[in-house]
Structures are given as structure tokens and as C-alpha cells.
Structure 1
Amino acid sequence: MPQMVVDGRTLALSHLDKVYYPQTGTLKGEVLRYYAAVHAALLPHLRDRPVSFLRCPDGVAAEVFVAKNPPPGTPGWVRTVEVPSSSGELRQVVLEDGAALLSVVNLGCLELHVPQWHAAAPGLADRLVLDLDPGAGADVLTCRTVAGMLRERLSADGLEAWVKTSGGKGLHLLVPLEPTPSARVSAYAKALAAELEAAHPELVVHTMAKARRTGRVLVDWSQNAAKKTTAAPYTVRARERPTVSTPLSWAELDEAGSAEELTFTVAEVPERLTARGDLLEPLLDPARAHPLPAATAPRAPGRTPVAPPTPPAVGERPGSDHAERGTGAAAPAGGRDPVVLSPPVEVMRPAAVSAVPPADGLGGGGVLYELKLDGFRCVAFARGPTRPPFLQSRSGRDFTAEFPPIASAVARLPAGLVLDAELVAWRGGRFAFEELLRTRQARAAEDVALGLIAFDVLALPGRDVRGLPLTDRRRLLLAALAEVPPPVQPVLATTDRAEALAWMDQLADTGVEGLVCKAAGSAYRPRGAGRVWVKYRRGDTVDATVRAVTGRPSRPRAVVLELDDGRVLLSSPPLSPFQSRQVAELAAGRLGAPVHDPQYGDVRPLTAPLRAEVTVTGRPPTALFVRLRGD
């Protein structure tokens, strides 16, 4: 039996010379070779989506049937997930690598169909689809006219559309969305199709009746329903010819002179993919996702405009209370404990760099640029109504009791959700780190706003997701927080380096420190984090360790700093009154007996180090103390 090694697995392939397409003589082996050639572009569009199959084990001229459950013979190592079903328990395949893909294709699974949502959040769509299906007397060029109208109409609502062939006679329009309940997406799509039919009844219909479709294009909005699926990009179709659902550019669609120019087969798509790349790759970029119009679905948190946010968008006032909130994360079935990750956990720590890496930096595969905010690192554990939430500092300590408004907000999140975040304070139109160092009573008395700005998700209810690529975790984070109000919200992030640099400059007055730049494919692995996560801080501000203080313990005058490169400097000029109080408070209990240093005079060494931020300038260098980092 022929064998193939794919992604480290040896697959036994069968009946490679079986004719799958009698009209063209295309063999099963050719279909397998096609999927092997395009799997790198195909798999990202399937990632974490349950797959339904159109099976043709004896070719398209024989019996063809739909299969939702894993087909007989599916290897045990292929991932399957439970999917909500009105008929009882349903398990479906999730294709995560080339070996899994080719193993099911070898079992006769010719067509691949997926819903508009992910297995981690059933019924929470991250894209909208419109299937343009021409009736008798119309063709794909007629669909092109309708597609252009829809593109313009979607754009008016702030939505961006991409296009592909269906692999049959029509077109598919795909629109990336911020995670939104499928029912809302379906209602919006239906209204859009009905509106277009009312404006162009001679060209468009939005109902299924075939009698009305002659010479017109059906705008099929129904595939946005949670129970419906759509042919995946690059899937082969079970037609007379081995056609493929193929991504197009809008320019290419506009320039086509015939329907045949928009028909592609398994023999043509691999070469086309090599030459043009994946034209639907932008769909996978979370920064491209936008909310539905407000009348249909509320704007999800995290899509913050470039202008500085207002305090209510950043934090919740101490003592305020929100009603019970919804979430995109589904609780695990079967009564299993949704809490799979408990504190403390080791966190990823980005390494400092002197320049923002390019988009192909950090090992290639893309970079996600996030705003670097001025606050405390906080891993937030939501543990359900019977267990209190837990706020973990960077060093692993519990500081839940210090920030009651944040703890209260985390308590209302789904049990089992774990977020890696920055705990921030907001006052006077900017992030106010110093407010985090005050007592909770002092913050409450002066109405300081607090926020929890999440940049990663470590666990969902019933599932540890730290092993997934960052792009997947970002999508799951947006889904989990889609309907969660402040003070919890996702950080602003983009894959566009120029856009990130613009944000950093435009938000400088709000206290945005710089950027954290992360390899898009990186798993959450603290060991070796500095190779895939880096931080760029504006100016010459660097981290240092406070080794000693000068002056009275109750009012230090300066600090002796050891930079990460080994240099030791005394801070200059003297500490401000606020800085002196901060050092005195955090150094209390860590000061040793006074000693005389030949260079700095009388100092009090710290028995346990404190981390600080300093600005190093000049030759010889001087160190301007900025602040202690605390936890």
C-alpha cells in the first residue's frame, strides 16, 4: 500500500488510481496531491472549525453523501470536538495539520464545509458569508454585478468583503467580524439581501423559490445560521469537473471576460497559489474584523479608536456594578469542571529591544503589535460562583484584595476563563501608574478608574489553550470578551507595523509606553519567551535593579541602580518628593544596615531587590529615575 509522510506522520494511502472524475479522468491520487500542495494555505481557514464532509468514496459519479461525524477509519490522533446538536451528541473532526487533512481525504472526504464560528465558541460568528447563486439564464458574471453592489453596501457599514468562487457557478463574499452571535449576523445578512432585492428586483432575489430566480441571482444569507456551513476556501467540489472554491482579487473579478476565466481546477490552483499567495489571508487578521452596525449588534470592546479612550471605556469606577454579562465562551458539556488552570502560572516575559521589529521579524510568520500599557501585570482567573476570583501578579503573588473592582469584574466572567492582562489606572485623561501604588481606600476616595486590559487568553472553560498559536488565542480572546463591558477589555493590536507606530505616537499623551511585539505563531511558553515576544519602549527608558538607597530610610534622596547590562549608576537628579515616598514605601522591610560606599557615600543596601525604570542619557551616562515597577 502506498505511503506518504506528512507532518511527521506516515499515512497509508489506498486506491490512488481510482477515477474520481470520469469526465476529466482525474484520479483519487491527483486529488490527494492537490490537497497536499495547498494544505498550508487551506488549514488556517479551517483552524478550530468543525468540518462537515461531502464524501465520494467511489468518485463523483457514484454515491455522494454528507458526513458530519468522523468517517469510519479516521485515525485516533485526529482531533474531534463535541458540537451542539438538537438531535443529541455530535462529534466532528477539526483539521489541525496536513496529516489529518490527507487522512480524511484518503477516506473519500472530497468537499470540506465549515460553519462561521469556531469550536471554542459555538454560535459566535467571526465572519459573515453571502453565497451568490445564479439562476437559469444568469452566470458568475451576473453574480459579479451583485457582488459589487454588496461590497459597496457593506463598506457603508464599515465592513470589508473578500471574494472567492464557490467552485460551482457562483461567488462567495466573506466578511471578517468581531465575534457576534450567529443569530445577529444572520438577521443582518437577511436584511441586507432583502434591501438589495427591493432596490434591484430584476437582478436579485433573497428567497429560495427557484421559480423566481430565472435570470436573477439568489443572495443566500442563510449560511450565517449557527447550524449552517459553507464550502471552505480551496476545497475541491464534487462536480463534473474537479473545480475548486478559489480566492479572487476584486480586480481580477472585474477584468474577467467570461465565466470560464473564473473557473479553476485542481490542476491550476497550486500554481496560482504559488504565484499569488493566499488572497484570503487578510480574513485571518483580527485587526481586519469590525462590528456589525450598532442597530444590529453592539460594538464589541477592544476596537478602540486611535483617539485616546475616555475613562468609562478604560475602567470601572470603584464600587460600580454591572448586570450579569454574556460571553462568547461556551461552558464544557457533561458537567465537567470548567476550571482547568489554577494559580500561580509562569508568565511570558518579553525581552527589551531598541527597535520595533519588522513584520517578518521574530522568526517570520508575521508579528502582532500590541500597545504597551503602564500598569501591573495581572493573570486573572475566573473560577465560578462558588470560588473567588484570583488576580496573580507577575511574580505569582495574590493581589486580589487590593483591587476589588477588578476582582468583582473577573468574578462575573465564565468559570475557567484565564486572562493574561495589564491592570491599569486611569486619571486625568491618561494612564496613571502611580495610582496603582496607593491604597485601595485612597483610590476609591478619589474616584480613580481601574481597568483590566487583556492581551492573551490562557484557558477557556474546560480547555487550556496555551499551546495554540497567538493568532488563534487572539481570536479566542476577542470571542470570549465580545459582550463583556469595561473594566475588562482586549488590548488594541494590529499586524500592521506602520499602524502600530502611528498608534504609539498618537497615544503618547495618554501614557502609552511603547509596543509589545509578538510572533503571530507563538505558543504561550514562558521558557524562551524573549525570542518570540519583545517590548519596545519609547526613548531611552530601560529596566534596572535598585541595589541601595541614599538618605534617610523615610525619605531616600537617590537610588543605586544596576542596569541589565551590568553598569551601576546613582540616580540623578535627586528623587522627587513623590518618588521618594514611593521608594520609602516599597523598600520598607528590605533595607539593610547602613554601609559606606567609596563612590556613593553612606548607603543602605536592599536585602531583596526592587525593579525600576530609568532613563539613561549622556556620556558619561546618567540615570534619571522614573519609578519603581512594583509587581
Structure 2
Amino acid sequence: MTVDGHTLALSHLDKVYYPRTGTPKGEVLRYYAAVHAALLPHLRDRPVSFLRCPDGVEAEVFVAKNPPPGTPDWVRTVDVPSNTGELRQVVLESGAALLAVANLGCLELHVPQWHAARPALADRLVLDLDPGEGADVLTCRTVALLLRERLAADGLAAWVKTSGSKGLHLLVPIEPAPSARVSGYAKALAAALEAEHPELVVHTMAKARRRGRVLVDWSQNNAKKTTAAPYTLRARPLPTVSTPLAWAELERAADERDLVFTLAEVPDRLAAHGDLLAPLLDPERARPLPGAPAAPPPTGSPPTGSPPTRRAQGARPAQVLHPPVEVMRPAAVAAVPPADGLGGGGVQYELKLDGFRCVAFARGGRPACLQSRGGRDLAPEFPPIAAAVARLPEGLVLDAELVAWRDGRFAFGELLRTRRARAAATGVALGLIAFDLLALPGRDVRALPLTDRRRLLLAALADVPPPIRPVMATTDRAEALEWMERLADTGVEGLVCKAAAAPYRPRGAGRVWVKYRRGDTLDATVRAVTGPAAHPHALILQLDDGRVFLTTPRLTPVQSREVAELARPLLGPPATDPDHGPVHPLTAPLRAEFTLTGRPPSATFLRLRGD
């Protein structure tokens, strides 16, 4: 047949390649012809290694890096660095070249994370999730969702596909970086996840340790390693395909069979959904690895490639900020501002997370302080976070959100539980997501523009392991809106939008920091509860602008119990309110979230905020 101007002699089309299903070689060629338009862009300029099965998957199978015997001379080949210096590999650029090598029994296609023109300079990060005995692809899903969140906290977006074997692959577009550095970042990420979830994750290859766990294989970022390409067939008993997935599709899979796709199914998926990995090919999606900001820091700032460290010979840097410090508080807005909407100079858009506001002070040999929005030290209630902050360089001060994570979502309710109850809970992870830097060792940086503080923040946290991570941020409004929608299922509340050129000045913060929430969610102070103290019926709320509302409708039994538990220590003696009758006033502030609807407006209670 003639393909792309080249004449191909396709032979033995009825030879059975997959005996279990009776799938012949002709079906394999037909499959690659059907998907080549989506597959080839993911191979562009990448040297291909093959798994050859010339007599089918149950006969001899072997790896081929050099061009297989019989490769047409018009198929492009390139020299690739190797220990011998003599390695030459195929680069597939056309449907004709793809069918030519498939006709030679090249069933599986594997590529490195770099291009032939720039060896060992990766533009993609990959994490291969491989389940051990007793685990499966649904276990991999749990790990994938945890990794997605950790990558997002580093400003990196991940896409996912099945491996076509037992597990999943996470793929991340990055600005070109040396493979060794990408591999180091991936290893640190996997190790940190294992430290936090040792019952679920392992990052070393020893099979004895993998029983019931998922190996997060970071090593495929090594310049000498390759990964199964999107849409490649696999040499498995069934003709399975490494198939791109939507995150929502992965999350709703009820059975591991929901995540197995064969050569008979993938062309129809492509026709229905297009290439779900197409965003990987958009250079605008690439982001720098943490610790590699695009621009240099201002004169006199610490190097951006490494975090500030303690001074030599035991000298302690001066701590220039001490708790409490006044924090900037964003004003609520009804719409996300445009890129020039906060006085010019650009806008930085950050994910609005669901947690406790927390200013973290690293104080050397003394215990860390976690200052709440109201000035209270949260360190005794959250020892793991306090311990992580204590390991930071003395004098470092972060403005951050203390969050809890459970079952793939932010779990604000876990923060309201007692320290003992949280310690006894399973599957709950705590984190500190930093969105601003207030001080370095010996230096107050609040007067610097936000763009400079952001660069210093990324540098300071470049080598810091979880649970401390920088917030996901961008200066692209459209990208921020996409993030907000894509991460809605994780509990992301909205966006905080900040003037990129503004210093950190709490007074007048509402003009340069604003927050956008989905819906009409507002904050208020609980002034009193109605009904019995043990079973409150409603709340009397006072807005920050002075307006007062009685919550309607009546609290649900679950809400009533939660309110009673948190409000009980703050209740004063019964009193009579002129508008609402018998009430129990609160002797100290308690914050709540609610929505206003209708005309005249009525308040619907959502939840209490423990911070």
C-alpha cells in the first residue's frame, strides 16, 4: 500500500499477535493507522525504543534501540548519546514510518522525556505508578490524586494515562531542565509522599517493600530511561493500550476494569473526546520546576537557586519579625479582576484554599509559632506542622494556609477536631501552603513587590519537603479560571487576586488583595445562638459591615451539634434580644460562613470557622 508517498509491503497480516484474543497483525496495523494523527505528536523529535514481538506476545519478545532490520532508508534516524557513542535510533515522523516499523513487529513504542535535538534536557516529567502485589490500579488512583495536589502546590499541572499494563502514568509539561535535576525533584516528591503515607506509597524498587503499596517510579526521568508512549500497544496477554484519561473519568471509575482499554476501543474514544493529552504539546503549558524562577531576583537578594541557610560557625541570623504581625486581608469581590484590574502592574492569581490562615515563624532552637488570623498560636494544636516549620532556617516567616486533606479533597472539618481525634484518624494529611514571604533570616522583605517576594518564596522552599509547599499561582487570568474549575472537586474555594507590584501592607489591603468565591459565600461573626444551648436552632450573625441577620432556615441536626460543640465554651448567660427573643450571647468572637439569598436577603448557615 502507499502511505504518505511511500510504498509499503505489509506482510503476514493474518499472523496472530495476541493468541488469547486471536488478534492478528493486520488489526495491529489497522489500529496504528487509526490513531497515528494523535500518537505522532507525542513522539515528535524523540528517539524511539521498541519492544519487538515479530511472532506475537507469547513468543520471543526483545528490546530494540537500533533501527530494526528491514527499516526503510527513508525513515529518519538520529545519533543518540550512549556509553559506546555508537547508538542510532529511529524518530517517527509520519504514518508511513509508524506502519513500517509496526510491520516489523515493533509493538511497543517507548520514548525519553527529551528531544533528539537537546539530549538530556527534559521538557516533561513523568511519574510511573506501579502497584505491588495486593494493590491495583484503583490504589494507584489514590496515589495519583495525592501527587496531583502536590504538583499543583508547586505550580505544576499533571495529566494522566493508563500505562496499558497495571498502573498509571502522570505526565507534567515543564520548562526544559537537565534530566538529572528533574529526576532529583521527582525522587524528592516520591520520597516525601512515602514519608507521609508509608502504608500506601514506596519510592524504592525493592519488591519486598511493595506488597499492598504503589511504587512511585521517579527513575524514568533519568536521561537514559524511556516511558511507554501515549497510545502505544502493550505486549500483554490482551491487546491493551496506554490510554489518556480525564481526571474526572479516573475519579469515578468503580472497578479496575473501567480503566482497561484495548485497540478495539481507543479509536472510538479518540473520535469522541479527541486527544486528552493534547495540552502536553502546548508550550504555553510548561512551567519551571520549583526553585528555578524565570527571572533573577532583585539586587541584594539571596540566590534564587537555593534556600537561605543558617550562617556558618553557629552564628544566628537576626529574627527581624516576631509574632504577632498584622496580616493582609483580601476584600470580597463578585468577579475575578482582569490582569490590569488592581491598579496596573499585573495581577497574581492564587488558588483560594480551605483552611486556617497561619503566619509561620521559624525560630531556630525555640519552638515554631503558627500565628492564626486572630493572633493565637496554633502550634500546640498542630504538632506536625510546627515541627516542619521548626526545621526551616531561623528567621524565615511565611504567610500561609494550614490545610487538611482527606479522600482527594480539602477537609476543613478535620481542622476543627481535637488534636487527639486527628491523630487517631486515618487518611488525613496536614499541610502548610505558603502564599507569601514576610521575612528571610535577618531581613524583612514586606516592602518588596509581590513578584519579588514570590521569587524569594520559591527559592526558600525549593528544597523543603512536604508538608510545606508554595501555593499554585499564575499571572494568566484564563489559566487561573481553568485551575479553579478543574480543581473544584478538590474543594478549592475560588481565587485570591493580588497586585503584582504591591508591597505587603495590611492597611489598604482591600485595594490590592481581593478574593473571589464561587457563589455568594460571606464571613460573619456569631453574636448569639437561639434555642437550647445543647441544641441551637439558629445563629445571630453580624457582618463585617455591621448588618445583622438571623440564619434561616433552622439548623440541621448535624449543624446544631457542630455549633453546640464549638460554641459551648463561649456561651454567656441567657438573655433576651429585642428582635429575636431568648438567646445565648457569645462572650468571644466565633466566625461563620453563610450565603445571602433573596430580596430582602436571608442568611443560610454553611459552617463555623475554627480560626
Is the counterpart of residue 588 in structure 1 residue 473 in structure 2? no
- The answer to whether residue 279 in structure 2 is matched with residue 394 in structure 1 is no
Matched with 1:430 is 409
Aligned partner of residue 348 in structure 2, secondary structure: strand
How do residues 602-613 of structure 1 correspond to structure 2 at under 5 angstroms? 602-613=582-593
Following superposition, the deviation at residue 490 of structure 1 comes to 0.5
Q: Cα distance 1:373–1:561, how it changes in 2: closer, same or farther (>3 A)?
A: same
Report matched runs for 1:478-627 at 5 Å: 478-627=458-607
Sort the Cα spacing of 1:378 and 1:576 in 2 relative to 1 into closer, same or farther, 3 A: same
TM-score, L = length of structure 2: 0.52
Larger mean Cα displacement after TM superposition, 571-580 or 310-319: 310-319
- Pair 521,289 (structure 1): closer, same or farther in 2 beyond 3 Å: farther
Distance 1:425 1:517, change over 3 A: same
Task: Verify the 8 A CA contact 1:331 1:338 in the aligned structure 2.
Answer: no
Q: Give the drift of 1:194.
A: 11
Counterpart Cα distance in 2 of 1:460 and 1:449: 27
Cα gap change, 1:392 to 1:507, in 2 (>3 Å): same
Aligned pair in 2 of structure 1 residues 300, 347: CA closer, same or farther (>3 Å)? farther
Letter in 1 for 2:539: V
Q: In structure 2, how many angstroms separate the alpha carbons of the residues matched to 1:339 and 1:577?
A: 48
1:314–1:451 CA contact under 8 A, matched in 2: no
- Cα 1:508–1:398, aligned 2, differ >3 Å: closer, same or farther? same
* 1:56-85 deviations in Å (ceiling 9; x for gaps): xxxxxxxxxxxxxxxxxxxxxxxxxxxxxx
Q: Which amino acid aligns with 1:455?
A: F
- Please give the secondary structure, in 2, of the residue aligned with 1:456: strand
- Cα distance in 2 for partners of 1:537, 1:556 equals 28
1:564: how far off?
3.2
8 Å contact kept, 2:310–2:317: no
Q: How does 1:127-206 map to 2 (within 5 A)?
A: none
Q: Distance in 2 between matches of 1:465 and 1:333?
A: 22
Pair 319,409 (structure 1): closer, same or farther in 2 beyond 3 Å: farther
The answer for the alignment partner of 2:181 in structure 1 is 296
1:461 aligns with 2:441: yes
Q: Give the Cα–Cα distance (whole angstroms) in 2 for the partners of residues 350 and 154 of structure 1.
A: 45
Quote the offset at 1:399 in angstroms.
1.4
What runs of 5+ residues in structure 1 fail to find an aligned partner? Answer: 1-151, 158-191, 201-218, 222-285, 305-309
SS at match of 2:570: coil
Give the distance between the partners of 2:370 and 2:437, measured in 1 at CA.
14
3-state SS, counterpart of residue 477 of structure 1: helix
Cα distance per residue 1:420-472 (max 9 Å; x no partner): 10000011211011110101111111122100000011111222111111101
Q: Counterpart of 1:371?
A: 351
Q: Secondary structure at the match of 2:377?
A: coil
SS at the partner of 2:182?
Answer: coil
SS of the aligned residue for 2:590 comes to: strand
Residue 361 (structure 2) aligns with = 381
- Structure 1 residues 621 and 391: alpha-carbon distance in aligned structure 2, compared to 1, 3 A threshold: same
Q: Per the alignment, do residues 406 and 555 of structure 1 end up closer, same or farther by CA in structure 2, a change over 3 Å counting?
A: same
Q: Does 2:451 align with 1:471?
A: yes
Distance of 2:594 and 2:545 partners within structure 1: 13
Q: What is the alpha-carbon distance in structure 2 between the residues aligned to residue 316 and residue 405 of structure 1?
A: 11
Please say if residues 513 and 538 of structure 1, whose CA atoms lie closer than 8 Å, have aligned partners that are also in contact: yes
Which secondary structure state, in structure 1, belongs to the residue aligned with residue 536 of structure 2?
strand
Cα distance in 2 for residues equivalent to 1:507 and 1:544? 26
Structure 1 pair 490/462, CA: closer, same or farther in 2 (3 Å)?
Answer: same
1:419 aligns with 2:398: yes
Alignment of 1:225-264 (within 5 A): none
Q: Which residue of 2 aligns with 1:405?
A: 384
Q: What's the secondary structure of 1:552's corresponding residue? A: coil
The aligned amino acid for 1:374 is: D
- Look up the SS of the partner of 2:589 in the other structure: strand
User: 1:590, CA displacement in angstroms?
Assistant: 2.6
**Amino acid of the structure 2 residue aligned with 1:428:** D
Change beyond 3 A, Cα 1:533–1:311: farther
Question: 1:64-110 CA deviation, whole Å, 9 max, x = no partner?
Answer: xxxxxxxxxxxxxxxxxxxxxxxxxxxxxxxxxxxxxxxxxxxxxxx
Letter in 1 for 2:608: L
Contact 2:362 2:392 in 1 (8 A): yes
Alpha-carbon deviations, 1:239-264, whole Å to 9, x = none?
A: xxxxxxxxxxxxxxxxxxxxxxxxxx
How far apart in 1 are the matches of 2:442 and 2:193? 30
Matched to 1:552, the amino acid is: P
Query: Residue type matched to 1:418 in 2?
Result: V
Over 3 Å counting, the alpha-carbon distance change for 1:154 and 1:381 in structure 2 is: farther
Residue identity in the other structure for 1:540:
D
Shift of 1:612: 1.2
Secondary structure at 1:531 match in 2: helix
Of all paired residues, the percent bearing the same amino acid is 68
Q: Displacement, 1:506?
A: 1.1
Alpha-carbon distance in structure 2 between the residues aligned to 1:313 and 1:556: 42
Residue equivalent to 2:225: none
Q: How many residue pairs align between the two structures?
A: 353
* d(CA) in 2 for partners of 1:510, 1:598: 43
SS of the residue aligned with 1:584? helix
Contact 2:330/2:510, CA 8 A, preserved across alignment: yes
- Structure 1 residue 392, shift from structure 2 partner: 0.9
- How far off its partner does 1:577 sit? 3.3
Secondary structure of the corresponding residue to residue 454 of structure 2: helix
Unpaired stretches in structure 2, ≥5 consecutive residues: 1-41, 48-79, 89-117, 121-154, 157-172, 203-304
3-state SS of 1:547 partner: strand
Displacement of 1:595: 2.5
CA distance in structure 1 between the aligned counterparts of 2:535 and 2:456, rounded to whole angstroms: 47
Q: CA 1:361–1:502 in 2, change beyond 3 Å: closer, same or farther?
A: same
Describe the SS at the equivalent of 1:421.
Answer: strand
CA separation in 2, counterparts of 1:529 and 1:154? 48
What CA distance in whole angstroms lies between the structure 2 residues aligned with 1:155 and 1:471?
A: 35
Cα distance, 1:492 vs structure 2: 0.3
**Code of the aligned partner of 2:412:** F
Residue 316 of structure 1 contacts residue 451 of structure 1 at CA under 8 Å; is this kept in 2? no
Change (3 A) 1:594 1:502: same
> What SS class does the counterpart of residue 555 from structure 1 fall into?
coil
User: Does structure 2 retain, via aligned residues, the 8 Å contact 1:611–1:628?
Assistant: yes
What amino acid sits opposite 2:343 in the alignment?
A: G
